[in-house]
Amino acid sequence: MSVTAAKGFTAAGIAAGIKENGNPDLALVVNNGPRRAAAGVFTSNRVKAAPVLWSEQVLKSGQVSAVVLNSGGANACTGPKGFQDTHATAEKVAEVLGRGAVEVAVCSTGLIGVLLPMDKLLPGVETAADQLSEHGGEKAAIAIKTTDTVHKTAVVSGKDGWTVGGMAKGAGMLAPGLATMLVVLTTDADLDGDVLDKALRAATNVTFDRVDSDGCMSTNDTVLLLASGSSGITPEYDEFAEAVRAVCDDLGQQLIRDAEGASKDIKVEVVNAASEADAVEVGRSIARNNLLKCAIHGEDPNWGRVLSAIGTTSAAFEPDRLNVAINGVWVCKNGSVGEDRELVDMRYREVHIVADLAAGNESATIWTNDLTADYVHENSAYSS
């Protein structure tokens, strides 16, 4: 049910002709209230797309009436004209919905450095508005796909009648500081923007921010959380925050499983770190090691590459106390040869690496993928 699982929201997804192949490429999500509270988290890349610059301003008010999303073009590195196009898109949505443009968030995804075909996009907004429906969440999720092979949605309901639902797109350029992706979450819980902001930041910090498919960071990453308040229920913060985290975690896992060209999903669990920051730093370093990612692709439990990656970090550890397990086999003990690497069974898609720093009690988990010839093919043959 995606973004329309929560009451008070309508959505649509259509083919506006932005994509040359005629696939759906424009989505609209509308908050019908009574509340229009919202929070947003954006890419930390300093080169930000026009829609990110726009939506960051919109979110400062903590109010969002509608979100318009397009695939088929990122509208990034497009200069003043690109920003004007984003502005015009928001104005068009405001006009057809009878809202203010300052409450319309805009998201774009696709190739960088190309202007959007506004002659197709603006009429598309009218078409999408005509098709808004309480059952439109699925179509909206489909319309934001780029190289995604599947559309991604998730829903969690609170025990007393409120719901958090959402949709995501993303299949490459997943990295900390946000996976490259667009995510819209909706809830009918009755909460204000500050509470939404707190819950959203807490959730993305341990979910999307720990999904690192290829180490690359996008110019367009956006995660929005909109609350309609139409359930009339104000849940306990902890229960609500957990629901948001669960939806983000579910969508994050779907992103990893659909990463471009990947044949393995790799769970890098760093344990016994001196601090959570150390655990995250080590996890990211392991997750970004191309040689290790190739080895995992080849089903080779090459733990030396794990140690090489750990060794490049500033985390607290002693080299001769490091332990590494791959799929349950402690192939490295005390920084040296451990159990027989032949015991490691790597036939399945999920691979579990545990790096024990023996330096404290903190831990963190980073998800990544293997590096494959298909990844190279997809990203050398496809301009994205």
Which of the residues are catalytic? 180
Of the pair 361, 380, the CB lying nearest a copy of itself is at 380
Distance CA 2, CA 123 (A): 25
- Least separation in angstroms between residue 256's CB and a copy of itself is 16
Of the pair 96, 211, the CB lying nearest a copy of itself is at 211
In the chain, what are the helix, strand and coil shares in percent, each to the nearest 5? 35, 25, 40
- Least separation in angstroms between residue 79's CB and a copy of itself is 3
Query: Applying CB under 8 A, does 177 fall inside the site for a copy of itself?
Result: yes
Q: Select from 63-71, 141-149, 249-257, 313-321 the region that touches a copy of itself (CB under 8 A).
A: 313-321
> Residue 379 annotated as binding?
yes
Query: Applying CB under 8 A, does 57 fall inside the site for a copy of itself?
Result: no
Using CB under 8 A, pick the residue from 23, 131, 308, 365 that binds a copy of itself: 308
Of the pair 7, 288, the CB lying nearest a copy of itself is at 288
For tokens 């969440």, the residue is 137
Using CB under 8 A, count the residues that bind a copy of itself. Answer: 68
For residue 335, which phi and psi values (nearest 5 degrees)? 70, 10
Measure the N-to-C terminal CA separation of the chain; round to a whole number of Å: 29
Tokens of residue 40, six digits: 């947003």
Using CB under 8 A, pick the residue from 138, 304, 327, 339 that binds a copy of itself: 304
CB 193 within 8 A of CB 37: yes
Q: Select from 58-66, 155-163, 239-247, 287-295 the region that touches a copy of itself (CB under 8 A).
A: 287-295
CB 268 within 8 A of CB 286: yes
Instruction: Residue 345: count other Cβ atoms within 10 Å of its Cβ.
Output: 12
Distance CA 199, CA 244 (A): 7
Residues 105-134 that bind a copy of itself (CB under 8 A): 111-115
Of the pair 194, 337, the CB lying nearest a copy of itself is at 337
Residues 67-96 that bind a copy of itself (CB under 8 A): 74, 76-79, 81-82
Q: Select from 196-204, 246-254, 348-356, 368-376 the region that touches a copy of itself (CB under 8 A).
A: 368-376
Query: Applying CB under 8 A, does 62 fall inside the site for a copy of itself?
Result: no
- Least separation in angstroms between residue 314's CB and a copy of itself is 9
Q: For residue 259, which of 178, 170, 347 has the smallest C-alpha distance?
A: 170
Distance CA 191, CA 38 (A): 9
Crossing angle of the two packed helices 303-310 and 276-287, in degrees rounded to 10: 130
Residues 242-281 that bind a copy of itself (CB under 8 A): none
* Cis peptide leading into residue 117 (ω within 30°): no
Q: Is residue 90 helix, strand or coil?
A: helix
CB 240 within 8 A of CB 189: yes
Surface-to-core class of residue 304, CB atoms within 10 Å of its CB (0-12 exposed, 13-18 middle, 19+ buried) = middle
Query: Applying CB under 8 A, does 295 fall inside the site for a copy of itself?
Result: yes
> Residue 146 annotated as binding?
yes
> Residue 384 annotated as binding?
yes
**β-pairing verdict for 182-187 and 222-227:** parallel
Binding residues: 146, 169, 180, 260, 379, 384
Which residues of this chain interact with a copy of itself, rule CB under 8 A? 44-48, 74, 76-79, 81-82, 111-115, 172-173, 177, 214-219, 288-291, 294-295, 297-298, 300, 302-305, 307-313, 317, 319-320, 322, 331-332, 334-337, 371-373, 375-381, 383-384
